[in-house]
Chain A
Amino acid sequence: MKLQLKQIFLRPTLVATAAWLFSPLAGWAQDDKSSPVLVPPAAFTTNCQACHMLDQMLVGPSLVELSELYPPSNLDDFIQWCIAPGHKRDNLPQMPAMVHVPKEELKAIHAYIRQVSVGVEKVKAPKTDPYALSPGSVRRPRVERTFVPDSGPASVVVALPTEPKLNVIWDTDSCRLRYISQGEVDRWPYLRSNGNALADVGEIGYVEAEPIFLEESRQYEGYKISPQGYPTFLYRVGETLVMEEIFWEEGTIVRAIRATPTLPAHHLPKSAGDNWGVDAEVTGRALNIIYRPL
């Protein structure tokens, strides 16, 4: 968005708009150089301007686009939309109802949109993530939370320092590893839709069919981060405190699980088909599970 705003505000047409807005009278007026300028109705500046730029999408469509959608013959449709907006575009929020704006003022807004758009071309704003390559988006290992597919809404993504890129999806609600995916984690679908779409976590490879621990009473307590950036999840299974570290070592994903005072009742994960080898070893109150991409 920062990049978009830079581009918007550098455009000469918008600078001209700024000049119009400083004119004290509504309607056509004269600026210092005695050339005619168009001043928006007060109801426009109060209710519309925050979302609608002249020539490109901001929160809502540009005035140029609105002018095309609502020629004078569609004035009634314009007023009706303002009073009771629908939701046509999934990538945009629904406009709040302008029910508090009298119809006469809506007509004036419509006229202004028509007038100010004459001769102005639409500008397409970029739709890519301006932070796609920032360290926070690509650093590995890293731990981040977002809405992901096939797991609960309170899940954690552990992006591992591997090539190809592997990710562990861990659900804090059920306190369990859900699956391992391959690919860069892309939160942009989530962010640009304001959370209405899920992040892309790549292709799901290994899926853990059921929790390791049989006890259903589990409470998530948080996680610790090692100096290398790996997480150790803390949770309780019944009354037992469990620490589960996840890291990458010698070509394998390691889950090092330690329980206090004793390892709760559990079963070991089953074989995971042709693409993943899974080994597990119990030593006292420790359980190590190793996931090996084949």
Chain B
Amino acid sequence: MKIYQKTLTLGLLAFVVLSARAESPKFSWDDYYDVVTVPTPEDVDPQIGGLDFMPDGRLVACFHRGEVMLLDTATGEWQQFASGLHEPLGVYVEDEGTVLVVQRAEITRLHDTDGDGRADYYEVVCDDWGMSGNYHEFAFGLVKDSAGNIYLSLGTASGLGGARDEIRGPWNETGGLTHEMFLHGGEHGDWKEKRKTMNVPRMWARVPYRGCVVRIAPGSRKAEVFATGFRTPNGLYVDADDQLWVSDNQGDWVGASKLHRVEEGGFYGHAASLLWGDNPPDVIPMDVPVPELEARRTKAAGLFPQGDAANSLTQIQSLLSSFAPVTTAVPSKAPLVVGEMNHSRLVVYLPDVVNGQQQGTGVHLVNTLSIGMGNNRLRYTADGRSLYLGKTHLSWPGREGLKKVTYNGKPYLMVESVKLTPRGFEFTFNAPIEDPVGLDGYEVESYRIAYHVAYGSPKNELKTERSSRVQIDGNVLTLELAEKPQANRVYDITLPPELTSELSPISSNRYWYTAHEVY
């Protein structure tokens, strides 16, 4: 294991990320966070799909090849609890100590009926969704609200693969796309060749309820469509106010990875799943005119431009004051912290509401090589001082294994909120600040992220904004732009890395504000 840790360290060195802009040169995350690699069990593919804690304090982790393992965190010993599951991507320990796990085909409740420490009853909780056999039809989750409702998200299928002969659930032929057209392999031929002749969407949702968030009521096996419009929604979270948040990955209809505040009945942008919502289209969803989709969709609470802010957001948690020096006492009002796959860092979302529109800011946290990439699952310890980070990659960027990141409690300078103003932005820090640089130290760019069927988005209408005034009043920094903020733009704001306080220099100085609405 020592060899593995050493090689991993070298690997991390090889993946250092340099920003195009100046990061805070005097601040080191390693002065505030201790990162430990937790050895994973021998002979188990160490890609982690879910993390939670048992009532007795053991960590529950589910792994790529179907094992559910229990870790005695005091001794470091792993014990197998279950095995044979199909790519589980979520685990949830119920109050009774039973374990729910999400696998491709179902939510399963694992019971240890004879008390020998291993699950012996794999009970179906819900399998009420379709499977076409396409590789990209992941099942993500799960979370519960205070009423005990379960929420689960279902990934769309990829046009890079077809469907299998045998599927689960009815095939939706809207727009003339039949099941037979999507068959591949064996007598059906090579999919790559076949799709050249077809109008196949990049991502599709032809079996229930792909691209949707579904809700399962307590005691029910029925999955109800709760919201539509998702592509690869690999992160769900219910906050202390029972508000559901869902992350989604950049791709077609998703110009940048994003975070959604999800309400029942909402449509969140990816067209394919409209087939399973109210008023489904009678054409291939990607052929619905964009203005019609625009009229239906709820915009993202935050956009995280690809490469710069985040790639492929994952699980969401509240940013607790035990894990970072935030002064917000009410958990539901706190910022959110989200994992991401391609870089060695976490991402924080600072909410704002303008004209009733939820929007907000992205910024990096624990931006240090020591935590590594591929942070697929995040789980706080009981004291909230540590986050376990479960890693995965499948065939994409990422890493393997388990890390424990512990905040040492020493306060450092951070931004707690960013609010739009009629002329610019108001940053509230967790301590009074000093700016030895002045106006010339502020860099702002803005651009538009496209909402379209194509993959991702360029930085459309990119322009450099001129800062016209900066004012500091205690822990509040007000930045005004020469041209007042415009709607439907992302503002990429770099504060001077020299900003400092009695606590420390500024920890993260680059912010991405999504301005759907302006004053």
Q: Which residue of A lies closest to B249 (CB)?
A: A96
Shortest A259–chain B CB gap in Å is 18
The answer to the question of B85 belonging to the interface, with a C-beta cut-off of 8 Å to chain A, is yes
B196 to chain A, nearest CB (A): 11
- Do A1 and B393 have beta carbons less than 8 Å apart? yes
- Asked if B437 lies at the interface with its beta carbon under 8 angstroms from chain A, I say no
Q: Which residues in A have their C-beta under 8 angstroms from that of B11? A: 5, 8-9, 14
Instruction: Specify which chain A residues have a CB less than 8 angstroms from the CB of B84 in the assembled complex.
Output: 142-145, 156
Point out the residues of chain B lying under 8 angstroms from A154, CB to CB: 104-106, 127, 131, 168
Shortest CB-to-CB span from B483 to chain A, Å, is: 22
Q: Which residues of B contact A226 (CB under 8 A)?
A: 120
Chain B interface extent, by class: 35 or more
Q: How large is the interface on A (under 10, 10 to 19, 20 to 34, 35 or more residues)?
A: 35 or more
Contact status B65-A191, CB under 8 Å = yes
Check A46 against B458 for contact (C-beta < 8 Å).
no
- Would B307 and A47 count as touching, CB distance under 8 A? yes
Pair A42/B19 contact, Cβ less than 8 Å: yes
Q: Which of A50, A144, A222 contacts B342 (CB 8 A)?
A: A50
Say whether B455 contacts A99, CB under 8 Å: yes
B-facing residues in A1-48 (Cβ within 8 Å): 1-2, 5-6, 8-10, 14-15, 17-19, 21-22, 24, 39-40, 42-43, 45-47
What residue in chain B is nearest A224 (Cβ atoms)? Answer: B121
Given known A-B contacts A9-B14, A46-B17, A147 and B250 have beta carbons under 8 A apart? no
Q: In whole Å, how far is B434's beta carbon from the nearest beta carbon of chain A?
A: 25
Contact A152 B168 (CB under 8 A): yes
Q: Are B85 and A145 in contact (CB under 8 A)?
A: yes
Does A51 sit at the interface, judged by CB under 8 A?
Answer: yes
Cβ < 8 Å to A, chain B residues 47-66 = 47, 64-66
Q: A46-B20, A136-B44, A195-B87 are in contact. Are A220 and B127 (CB under 8 A)?
A: yes
Q: Which residues of A contact B121 (CB under 8 A)?
A: 222-225
Within 8 A of B (CB), among A88-132: 90, 92-94, 96-102, 130-131
A187 at the B interface (CB under 8 A): yes
Within 8 Å by CB of A153, from B46, B105, B113, B307, lies B105
Interface string of B84-121 (1 = CB under 8 A from A): 11110000000000000001111010000100000111
Q: Is A173 an interface residue (CB 8 A)?
A: yes
Interface residues of B in 9-68 (CB under 8 A from A): 10-11, 13-20, 43-47, 64-67
B146 at the A interface (CB under 8 A): no
A5 touches B7 (CB 8 A): yes
List the one stretch of B328-336, B395-403, B508-516 in contact with chain A.
Answer: B395-403
Contact of B307 among A100, A146, A223 (CB under 8 A): A100
**Candidates B43, B127, B160, B311; contact of A172 at CB < 8 Å:** B127
Query: Which of A2, A87, A146, A187 has the most CB atoms of chain B within a 10 A radius of its CB?
Result: A2
Docked CA distance A39–B113 (Å):
58
| B500 located at the interface, meaning its Cβ lies under 8 Å from any Cβ of chain A in the complex | no
Binding site for B on A (CB under 8 A): 1-2, 5-6, 8-10, 14-15, 17-19, 21-22, 24, 39-40, 42-43, 45-47, 49-51, 53, 59, 87, 90, 92-94, 96-102, 130-131, 134-136, 142-147, 150-154, 156, 172-173, 187, 191-196, 198, 220-226
Sorted nearest first, the 7 A-B pairs with minimum C-beta distance are: A195-B135, A18-B13, A50-B397, A145-B86, A154-B105, A144-B84, A134-B43
B interface residues with partner A (beta carbon < 8 Å): 3-4, 7-8, 10-11, 13-20, 43-47, 64-67, 83-87, 103-106, 108, 113, 119-124, 127, 131-133, 135-136, 160-161, 164, 166-168, 185, 192, 250-251, 256, 305-308, 311, 341-343, 373, 393-398, 400, 454-459
11 A-B pairs within 8 Å (CB atoms) are namely A43-B307, A46-B17, A51-B397, A99-B457, A134-B44, A136-B66, A146-B86, A152-B131, A152-B167, A156-B84, A192-B395
